[in-house]
Amino acid sequence: MRSLPCRPLVAPVLPVLLCALVALGVPGAAAADGPDGSGGTAENTENTGSGGHGGPSASVEVARLYVEAQSATARYEAGRRAAAAQRARVKHLERLLAKERYEVSVLHEDLGRMATAQYRTGGGLPLTARLLLADNPDELLRGRRVVGQADLAVTNTVARTQRAAARLATARRSATRARDVLDRREARLARLKRDIEAKLESARWTLQEEADVSAAAGRCRGAVRLAQPESSSTRAWVTPVESYELSAGFDSAGARWAARHTGQDFAVAIGAPVRSVGAGRVVRVACGGGFGVEVVVRHEDGSYTQYAHLASVAVDQGERVRTGQWVGQAGTTGNSTGPHLHFETRVTPDLGSGVDPVGWLAERGVGL
Protein backbone atom coordinates (compact mmCIF):
# COMPACT_ATOMS: atom_id res chain seq x y z
CA MET A 1 0.00 0.00 0.00
CA ARG A 2 1.29 3.42 -0.86
CA SER A 3 1.72 5.91 1.96
CA LEU A 4 -0.45 8.97 1.91
CA PRO A 5 0.81 12.31 0.56
CA CYS A 6 1.67 15.15 2.84
CA ARG A 7 -0.37 18.06 3.96
CA PRO A 8 2.04 21.01 3.92
CA LEU A 9 2.81 23.71 6.40
CA VAL A 10 -0.21 25.67 7.64
CA ALA A 11 1.23 29.08 6.84
CA PRO A 12 4.34 29.30 4.65
CA VAL A 13 7.02 31.77 5.51
CA LEU A 14 7.27 34.13 2.59
CA PRO A 15 10.61 33.95 0.81
CA VAL A 16 13.11 36.80 0.81
CA LEU A 17 13.77 39.02 -2.19
CA LEU A 18 11.28 38.86 -4.96
CA CYS A 19 9.01 35.96 -3.84
CA ALA A 20 8.24 38.14 -0.83
CA LEU A 21 6.99 41.09 -2.84
CA VAL A 22 3.56 40.89 -1.29
CA ALA A 23 2.17 39.26 1.82
CA LEU A 24 -0.25 36.58 0.77
CA GLY A 25 -3.33 35.37 2.56
CA VAL A 26 -5.26 32.21 1.70
CA PRO A 27 -8.67 33.04 0.24
CA GLY A 28 -11.70 30.87 0.36
CA ALA A 29 -11.02 29.65 -3.18
CA ALA A 30 -7.91 27.73 -2.11
CA ALA A 31 -8.44 24.02 -1.67
CA ALA A 32 -8.57 22.93 1.96
CA ASP A 33 -7.13 19.76 3.43
CA GLY A 34 -9.27 16.69 2.92
CA PRO A 35 -11.14 15.30 5.92
CA ASP A 36 -8.88 12.27 6.11
CA GLY A 37 -5.73 13.88 4.76
CA SER A 38 -5.76 11.55 1.79
CA GLY A 39 -4.91 12.37 -1.74
CA GLY A 40 -3.65 10.60 -4.81
CA THR A 41 -1.63 11.30 -7.88
CA ALA A 42 -4.52 11.19 -10.32
CA GLU A 43 -3.27 11.05 -13.87
CA ASN A 44 -4.10 13.74 -16.35
CA THR A 45 -7.37 12.71 -17.98
CA GLU A 46 -7.62 15.51 -20.48
CA ASN A 47 -5.19 18.03 -21.90
CA THR A 48 -7.38 20.83 -23.15
CA GLY A 49 -4.92 23.70 -23.16
CA SER A 50 -7.54 26.02 -21.73
CA GLY A 51 -9.36 26.51 -18.49
CA GLY A 52 -12.00 28.56 -16.72
CA HIS A 53 -11.90 32.33 -16.47
CA GLY A 54 -10.20 32.81 -19.80
CA GLY A 55 -7.84 29.84 -20.05
CA PRO A 56 -4.07 30.12 -19.78
CA SER A 57 -3.98 33.92 -19.98
CA ALA A 58 -3.73 34.21 -16.19
CA SER A 59 -0.59 32.05 -16.20
CA VAL A 60 1.03 34.19 -18.87
CA GLU A 61 -0.01 37.40 -17.10
CA VAL A 62 1.39 36.19 -13.77
CA ALA A 63 4.66 35.15 -15.42
CA ARG A 64 4.92 38.52 -17.19
CA LEU A 65 4.14 40.47 -14.03
CA TYR A 66 6.50 38.30 -12.03
CA VAL A 67 9.36 39.23 -14.37
CA GLU A 68 8.27 42.87 -14.32
CA ALA A 69 8.20 42.81 -10.53
CA GLN A 70 11.72 41.38 -10.46
CA SER A 71 12.93 44.09 -12.82
CA ALA A 72 11.11 46.85 -10.94
CA THR A 73 12.49 45.64 -7.64
CA ALA A 74 16.02 45.52 -9.05
CA ARG A 75 15.69 49.06 -10.45
CA TYR A 76 14.19 50.30 -7.19
CA GLU A 77 16.97 48.77 -5.12
CA ALA A 78 19.62 50.20 -7.45
CA GLY A 79 17.97 53.63 -7.29
CA ARG A 80 17.68 53.42 -3.53
CA ARG A 81 21.37 52.60 -3.20
CA ALA A 82 22.34 55.41 -5.58
CA ALA A 83 20.20 57.92 -3.66
CA ALA A 84 21.67 56.77 -0.35
CA ALA A 85 25.21 57.08 -1.74
CA GLN A 86 24.44 60.59 -3.01
CA ARG A 87 22.97 61.60 0.35
CA ALA A 88 26.15 60.35 2.01
CA ARG A 89 28.22 62.39 -0.48
CA VAL A 90 26.25 65.54 0.32
CA LYS A 91 26.80 65.01 4.05
CA HIS A 92 30.52 64.46 3.43
CA LEU A 93 30.76 67.67 1.41
CA GLU A 94 28.86 69.54 4.11
CA ARG A 95 31.38 68.35 6.70
CA LEU A 96 34.31 69.40 4.49
CA LEU A 97 32.72 72.77 3.83
CA ALA A 98 32.11 73.38 7.52
CA LYS A 99 35.77 72.53 8.20
CA GLU A 100 37.01 74.95 5.52
CA ARG A 101 34.77 77.72 6.80
CA TYR A 102 36.01 77.11 10.32
CA GLU A 103 39.64 77.36 9.14
CA VAL A 104 38.87 80.62 7.32
CA SER A 105 37.39 82.06 10.49
CA VAL A 106 40.44 80.98 12.53
CA LEU A 107 42.80 82.53 10.00
CA HIS A 108 40.83 85.76 10.04
CA GLU A 109 41.19 85.80 13.80
CA ASP A 110 44.95 85.29 13.41
CA LEU A 111 45.15 88.26 11.05
CA GLY A 112 43.21 90.34 13.52
CA ARG A 113 45.57 89.42 16.35
CA MET A 114 48.58 90.24 14.19
CA ALA A 115 47.15 93.62 13.29
CA THR A 116 46.43 94.37 16.95
CA ALA A 117 49.94 93.29 17.95
CA GLN A 118 51.47 95.54 15.27
CA TYR A 119 49.45 98.49 16.48
CA ARG A 120 50.48 97.93 20.10
CA THR A 121 54.15 97.75 19.12
CA GLY A 122 53.97 100.92 17.10
CA GLY A 123 52.70 99.46 13.93
CA GLY A 124 50.47 102.48 13.50
CA LEU A 125 53.46 104.89 13.23
CA PRO A 126 55.28 105.61 9.98
CA LEU A 127 58.26 103.30 9.55
CA THR A 128 60.71 106.25 9.45
CA ALA A 129 59.47 107.54 12.82
CA ARG A 130 59.73 104.08 14.37
CA LEU A 131 63.30 103.71 13.07
CA LEU A 132 64.29 107.06 14.62
CA LEU A 133 62.71 106.18 17.94
CA ALA A 134 63.92 102.57 18.08
CA ASP A 135 66.81 101.58 20.35
CA ASN A 136 67.89 98.99 17.77
CA PRO A 137 66.75 99.84 14.20
CA ASP A 138 68.17 96.58 12.75
CA GLU A 139 66.11 94.49 15.13
CA LEU A 140 63.03 96.55 14.32
CA LEU A 141 63.55 95.92 10.59
CA ARG A 142 64.01 92.21 11.13
CA GLY A 143 60.84 92.10 13.23
CA ARG A 144 59.04 94.09 10.57
CA ARG A 145 60.07 91.57 7.88
CA VAL A 146 59.02 88.62 10.02
CA VAL A 147 55.63 90.16 10.74
CA GLY A 148 55.19 90.96 7.05
CA GLN A 149 56.06 87.48 5.98
CA ALA A 150 53.66 86.00 8.54
CA ASP A 151 50.97 88.43 7.44
CA LEU A 152 51.48 87.43 3.81
CA ALA A 153 51.47 83.72 4.63
CA VAL A 154 48.25 84.00 6.58
CA THR A 155 46.66 86.11 3.85
CA ASN A 156 47.61 83.57 1.17
CA THR A 157 46.32 80.73 3.33
CA VAL A 158 43.04 82.56 3.88
CA ALA A 159 42.69 83.04 0.12
CA ARG A 160 43.39 79.37 -0.61
CA THR A 161 40.97 78.27 2.08
CA GLN A 162 38.30 80.61 0.76
CA ARG A 163 38.75 79.22 -2.76
CA ALA A 164 38.51 75.68 -1.41
CA ALA A 165 35.35 76.59 0.49
CA ALA A 166 33.87 78.10 -2.67
CA ARG A 167 34.64 74.93 -4.64
CA LEU A 168 33.13 72.79 -1.92
CA ALA A 169 30.03 74.96 -1.83
CA THR A 170 29.62 74.54 -5.60
CA ALA A 171 30.16 70.79 -5.33
CA ARG A 172 27.65 70.57 -2.51
CA ARG A 173 25.01 72.43 -4.51
CA SER A 174 25.60 70.10 -7.46
CA ALA A 175 25.48 67.03 -5.23
CA THR A 176 22.31 68.27 -3.57
CA ARG A 177 20.63 68.71 -6.95
CA ALA A 178 21.72 65.21 -7.95
CA ARG A 179 20.41 63.86 -4.64
CA ASP A 180 17.04 65.52 -5.23
CA VAL A 181 16.84 63.97 -8.71
CA LEU A 182 17.68 60.54 -7.32
CA ASP A 183 15.17 60.93 -4.48
CA ARG A 184 12.41 61.75 -6.98
CA ARG A 185 13.47 58.79 -9.15
CA GLU A 186 13.43 56.51 -6.11
CA ALA A 187 9.90 57.66 -5.27
CA ARG A 188 8.74 57.00 -8.86
CA LEU A 189 10.30 53.54 -8.84
CA ALA A 190 8.65 52.79 -5.49
CA ARG A 191 5.24 53.74 -6.92
CA LEU A 192 5.88 51.61 -10.04
CA LYS A 193 6.91 48.68 -7.85
CA ARG A 194 3.76 48.98 -5.73
CA ASP A 195 1.55 49.17 -8.82
CA ILE A 196 3.10 46.04 -10.33
CA GLU A 197 2.83 44.22 -7.00
CA ALA A 198 -0.87 45.09 -6.76
CA LYS A 199 -1.51 43.78 -10.28
CA LEU A 200 0.55 40.68 -9.56
CA GLU A 201 -1.39 40.01 -6.37
CA SER A 202 -4.68 40.13 -8.23
CA ALA A 203 -3.41 38.01 -11.12
CA ARG A 204 -2.00 35.42 -8.74
CA TRP A 205 -5.33 34.69 -7.17
CA THR A 206 -7.08 34.63 -10.54
CA LEU A 207 -4.53 32.02 -11.58
CA GLN A 208 -5.11 30.08 -8.36
CA GLU A 209 -8.89 30.10 -8.83
CA GLU A 210 -8.46 28.65 -12.32
CA ALA A 211 -6.10 26.01 -10.96
CA ASP A 212 -8.56 25.06 -8.22
CA VAL A 213 -11.27 24.48 -10.83
CA SER A 214 -8.96 22.22 -12.84
CA ALA A 215 -7.75 20.34 -9.77
CA ALA A 216 -11.29 19.81 -8.49
CA ALA A 217 -12.32 18.39 -11.87
CA GLY A 218 -9.12 16.34 -12.20
CA ARG A 219 -8.72 17.74 -15.71
CA CYS A 220 -5.48 19.61 -16.45
CA ARG A 221 -5.74 22.66 -18.64
CA GLY A 222 -2.68 21.80 -20.67
CA ALA A 223 0.73 23.37 -20.90
CA VAL A 224 0.92 27.15 -20.84
CA ARG A 225 4.02 28.09 -22.78
CA LEU A 226 5.86 30.71 -20.77
CA ALA A 227 8.75 32.85 -21.95
CA GLN A 228 11.73 31.01 -20.54
CA PRO A 229 14.50 33.04 -18.87
CA GLU A 230 17.86 33.25 -20.56
CA SER A 231 20.58 31.46 -18.65
CA SER A 232 24.32 31.22 -19.20
CA SER A 233 24.71 28.68 -16.40
CA THR A 234 26.41 25.41 -17.26
CA ARG A 235 25.40 23.71 -14.02
CA ALA A 236 23.86 20.26 -14.36
CA TRP A 237 21.60 20.69 -11.30
CA VAL A 238 19.82 23.65 -9.70
CA THR A 239 17.26 24.33 -6.96
CA PRO A 240 13.58 23.89 -7.98
CA VAL A 241 12.84 27.57 -7.26
CA GLU A 242 15.23 30.48 -7.41
CA SER A 243 14.20 32.46 -4.32
CA TYR A 244 12.61 30.72 -1.35
CA GLU A 245 12.58 29.84 2.30
CA LEU A 246 12.53 26.23 3.39
CA SER A 247 9.49 25.17 5.41
CA ALA A 248 8.45 21.57 6.14
CA GLY A 249 11.28 19.11 5.67
CA PHE A 250 11.48 15.50 4.57
CA ASP A 251 10.16 12.83 6.95
CA SER A 252 8.63 15.41 9.28
CA ALA A 253 5.93 14.16 11.62
CA GLY A 254 2.97 16.05 13.01
CA ALA A 255 -0.73 16.72 12.86
CA ARG A 256 -0.39 18.39 9.46
CA TRP A 257 0.07 15.05 7.68
CA ALA A 258 -1.76 11.77 7.65
CA ALA A 259 1.70 10.13 7.34
CA ARG A 260 5.24 11.47 7.55
CA HIS A 261 6.15 14.24 5.14
CA THR A 262 7.38 12.83 1.84
CA GLY A 263 9.23 15.81 0.43
CA GLN A 264 10.75 19.22 1.05
CA ASP A 265 8.51 22.30 1.03
CA PHE A 266 9.71 25.61 -0.40
CA ALA A 267 7.76 28.67 0.77
CA VAL A 268 7.13 30.78 -2.33
CA ALA A 269 4.34 32.96 -3.65
CA ILE A 270 1.63 31.89 -6.06
CA GLY A 271 2.95 32.16 -9.60
CA ALA A 272 6.62 31.80 -8.67
CA PRO A 273 8.38 29.96 -11.52
CA VAL A 274 9.13 26.32 -10.72
CA ARG A 275 12.03 24.85 -12.66
CA SER A 276 13.31 21.38 -13.39
CA VAL A 277 16.30 20.70 -11.16
CA GLY A 278 18.01 18.80 -13.95
CA ALA A 279 17.66 17.68 -17.54
CA GLY A 280 15.21 14.89 -18.27
CA ARG A 281 11.78 13.99 -19.59
CA VAL A 282 8.32 14.74 -18.17
CA VAL A 283 6.69 11.43 -17.27
CA ARG A 284 3.59 12.72 -15.50
CA VAL A 285 1.35 15.80 -15.60
CA ALA A 286 -1.56 15.28 -13.24
CA CYS A 287 -4.36 17.22 -11.59
CA GLY A 288 -6.59 16.41 -8.65
CA GLY A 289 -5.91 14.41 -5.52
CA GLY A 290 -3.78 15.42 -2.58
CA PHE A 291 -0.96 16.83 -4.69
CA GLY A 292 -3.25 19.01 -6.79
CA VAL A 293 -1.54 20.01 -10.03
CA GLU A 294 1.79 18.18 -10.28
CA VAL A 295 4.64 17.40 -12.65
CA VAL A 296 7.04 14.44 -12.40
CA VAL A 297 10.34 14.41 -14.32
CA ARG A 298 12.63 11.45 -14.96
CA HIS A 299 16.27 12.57 -15.07
CA GLU A 300 19.14 11.19 -17.09
CA ASP A 301 20.60 9.38 -14.07
CA GLY A 302 17.35 7.41 -13.63
CA SER A 303 16.06 9.39 -10.64
CA TYR A 304 12.74 11.23 -10.48
CA THR A 305 11.59 14.59 -9.12
CA GLN A 306 8.06 15.74 -8.36
CA TYR A 307 6.74 19.32 -8.29
CA ALA A 308 3.34 19.53 -6.58
CA HIS A 309 0.54 21.93 -5.55
CA LEU A 310 1.19 23.95 -8.73
CA ALA A 311 -1.08 26.66 -10.10
CA SER A 312 -0.16 25.87 -13.71
CA VAL A 313 2.09 23.66 -15.81
CA ALA A 314 4.35 24.81 -18.62
CA VAL A 315 5.24 21.40 -20.09
CA ASP A 316 3.45 18.41 -21.56
CA GLN A 317 3.82 14.77 -20.63
CA GLY A 318 6.61 13.18 -22.68
CA GLU A 319 8.39 16.49 -23.27
CA ARG A 320 12.13 16.78 -22.75
CA VAL A 321 13.26 19.53 -20.37
CA ARG A 322 16.63 21.10 -19.71
CA THR A 323 18.16 22.07 -16.40
CA GLY A 324 16.46 25.18 -15.04
CA GLN A 325 13.58 25.10 -17.53
CA TRP A 326 10.28 26.31 -16.08
CA VAL A 327 7.89 23.39 -15.71
CA GLY A 328 5.12 25.31 -13.96
CA GLN A 329 4.13 27.96 -11.47
CA ALA A 330 3.81 27.49 -7.73
CA GLY A 331 0.37 27.53 -6.15
CA THR A 332 -1.72 25.93 -3.43
CA THR A 333 -3.81 23.23 -5.15
CA GLY A 334 -4.70 19.90 -3.57
CA ASN A 335 -4.19 19.26 0.15
CA SER A 336 -2.43 22.55 0.69
CA THR A 337 -3.09 25.21 3.27
CA GLY A 338 -0.95 27.94 1.73
CA PRO A 339 1.18 28.81 -1.31
CA HIS A 340 4.33 26.69 -1.57
CA LEU A 341 6.11 24.13 -3.71
CA HIS A 342 6.12 20.53 -2.52
CA PHE A 343 9.27 18.97 -4.01
CA GLU A 344 10.11 15.27 -3.93
CA THR A 345 13.07 13.23 -5.09
CA ARG A 346 12.27 9.59 -5.82
CA VAL A 347 13.77 6.36 -7.09
CA THR A 348 10.55 5.60 -9.00
CA PRO A 349 7.87 7.91 -10.41
CA ASP A 350 5.45 6.91 -7.67
CA LEU A 351 4.71 8.12 -4.17
CA GLY A 352 6.40 6.08 -1.46
CA SER A 353 9.83 5.85 -3.10
CA GLY A 354 11.05 9.23 -1.90
CA VAL A 355 14.48 10.06 -0.50
CA ASP A 356 15.57 13.19 1.38
CA PRO A 357 15.65 16.02 -1.23
CA VAL A 358 18.22 18.01 0.76
CA GLY A 359 20.74 15.16 0.70
CA TRP A 360 19.81 14.22 -2.86
CA LEU A 361 20.53 17.74 -4.11
CA ALA A 362 23.68 18.01 -2.00
CA GLU A 363 25.05 14.88 -3.70
CA ARG A 364 24.64 16.77 -6.98
CA GLY A 365 26.37 19.91 -5.76
CA VAL A 366 23.26 21.92 -4.87
CA GLY A 367 22.96 23.29 -1.35
CA LEU A 368 19.74 24.52 0.21
CA distance 212 to 333: 6
Amino acid (one-letter) located at 253: A
Q: How many residues does the chain have?
A: 368
Rg (CA), the chain: 36
Question: Rounded to the nearest 10 degrees, what angle do helices 57-118 and 137-217 cross at?
Answer: 170
| Weakly modelled stretches of the chain, pLDDT under 70 | 1-56, 110-151, 153-154, 231-233, 253-259
**Contacts of residue 322, Cβ cutoff 8 Å, sequence gap at least 6:** 276, 279
pLDDT digits (tens, 9 = 90+) for 116-158: 655 555 555 555 555 455 556 565 556 556 556 666 766 777 7
**Contacts of residue 17, Cβ cutoff 8 Å, sequence gap at least 6:** 73, 243
Identify which of 57, 335, 296, 326 has the alpha carbon closest to the alpha carbon of residue 212. Answer: 335
Asked whether 19 and 367 are in contact (CB, 8 A), the reply is: no
For residue 149, count other CB atoms closer than 10 A to its CB.
10
pLDDT digits (tens, 9 = 90+) for 11-67: 333 333 333 333 333 333 333 333 333 334 344 434 444 433 334 578 888 988 988
The pLDDT value given to residue 12: 38
